[in-house]
């Protein structure tokens, strides 16, 4: 989801309670702010989840271990002598060697060998079954390591994308809250906000606001006001990539784009119903 899409979704969150409160004596702007605060909390939870998923993707749990001497991960082997990336040419086996000069005495050793390194860990006979299993697991992990690495990278990449998306959604809510706060400063005490929709004007993402007196467009760097008594006609154009609301006023033309077609038609009908004297042409 792009930053623009995140902001549009946040604006729709703010607009929902306005439609529910049209026939009630409530503060519509306060309702929008409450909806955004709830969305903000939801996005905070999404960020926490994405962060946990990213940590899990980057920090795999061990597959097997023998104390701290040998720790096997899906893509690497950690030993007292260092950490080695697993590759298909790694081999691991158990060697049972007699002790020189000691009759019936043997030393059991786990030997792991890579292209340029070799590690040995001796162990008591009671651990033989465990160590043979560990040797087999090391060789199996080495054969599958590259596949596991690709999957882990894809998982980490997706977790990073999810986290970036969650932060974008959170920032969009913050920006929308700021725009709704500006709206509260722009409307008069006896002016009712009727509907809100995301829109674009001259490349600026913002909020399209229909009140009982005028149509407002509010963005971070751009504010437009179209009093209904100055509007001579309003039309809705476009369909597939978002509708455009085209206004003709005594002060010039105005175009707000990027509106959901059905919503644009509703706002256009609202404007027509408020134009004094006669219904504006579609």
**pLDDT given at position 281:** 45
Question: In this structure, what CATH number is given to the domain that contains residue 228?
Answer: 2.30.29.30
Cβ atoms of residues 46 and 237 within 8 Å: no
pTM: 0.48
CA angle 82, 88, 92 (to 5 degrees): 60
Number of domains composing the chain: 1
Residue 230 resides in a domain: yes
Is residue 231 in a domain? yes
Give domain status of residue 82, yes or no.
Answer: no
CA distance 184 to 193: 10
d(CA 160, CA 50): 8
Neighbour order of strands in the sheet with 76-79? 64-66, 70-72, 76-79, 82-85
The region that residue 252 occupies, defined by phi over 0 for left and psi between -120 and 50 for alpha, beta otherwise, is left
Q: What is the pLDDT of residue 21?
A: 45
Answer whether residue 86 is part of any domain: no
Given a cut of 70, the residues of the chain with pLDDT beneath it are: 1-4, 7-8, 10-36, 39, 56-57, 59, 100-104, 240-241, 277-282
The whole-angstrom separation of Cα 66 and Cα 137 is: 12
CA distance 263 to 149: 47
Query: Does 264 fall in a domain?
Result: yes
pLDDT confidence of residue 118: 94
pLDDT attached to residue 104: 67
Supply the pLDDT for residue 106: 82
pLDDT in tens, 21-34: 444 444 555 656 66
Does residue 223 fall inside a structural domain?
yes
Biggest distance spanned by C-alpha atoms of the chain: 116
* Residue 127 domain flag: no
Say if 25 falls within a structural domain.
no
pLDDT reported for residue 26: 44
pLDDT tens for residues 125-171? 999 999 999 999 999 999 988 888 888 788 888 888 888 888 887 77
- Residue pair 40/174 in contact by the 8 Å Cβ criterion: yes
Q: Which residue has the tokens 């929902």?
A: 16
The domain of 237 spans: 189-282
């Amino acid at each position: 989801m792009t930053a623009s899409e995140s902001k549009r979704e946040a604006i729709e969150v703010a607009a929902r309670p306005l439609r529910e409160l049209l026939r009630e004596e409530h503060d519509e702007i306060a309702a929008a702010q409450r909806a955004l605060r709830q969305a903000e909390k939801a996005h905070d939870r999404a960020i926490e989840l994405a962060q946990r998923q990213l940590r899990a993707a980057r920090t795999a749990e061990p597959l097997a271990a023998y104390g701290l001497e040998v720790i096997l991960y899906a893509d690497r082997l950690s030993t007292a002598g260092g950490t080695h990336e697993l590759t298909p040419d790694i081999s691991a086996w158990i060697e049972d060697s007699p002790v020189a000069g000691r009759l019936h005495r043997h030393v059991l050793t786990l030997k792991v060998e890579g292209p340029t390194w070799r590690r040995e860990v001796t162990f008591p006979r009671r651990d033989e079954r465990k160590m043979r299993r560990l040797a087999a697991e090391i060789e199996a992990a080495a054969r599958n390591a590259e596949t596991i690495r690709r999957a882990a990278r894809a998982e980490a990449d997706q977790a990073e994308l999810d986290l970036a998306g969650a932060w974008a959604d959170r920032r969009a809510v913050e920006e929308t809250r700021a725009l709704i706060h500006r709206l509260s400063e722009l409307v008069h005490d006896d002016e009712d906000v009727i509907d809100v929709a995301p829109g674009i004007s001259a490349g600026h993402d913002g909020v399209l606001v229909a009140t009982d007196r005028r149509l407002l467009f509010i963005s971070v760097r751009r504010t437009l006001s179209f009093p209904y008594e100055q509007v001579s006609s309003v039309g809705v154009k476009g369909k597939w990539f978002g509708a455009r609301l085209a206004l003709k006023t005594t002060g010039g033309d105005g175009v707000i784009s990027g509106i959901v077609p059905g919503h644009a038609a509703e706002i256009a009908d609202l404007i027509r119903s408020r134009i004094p004297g006669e219904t504006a042409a579609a």
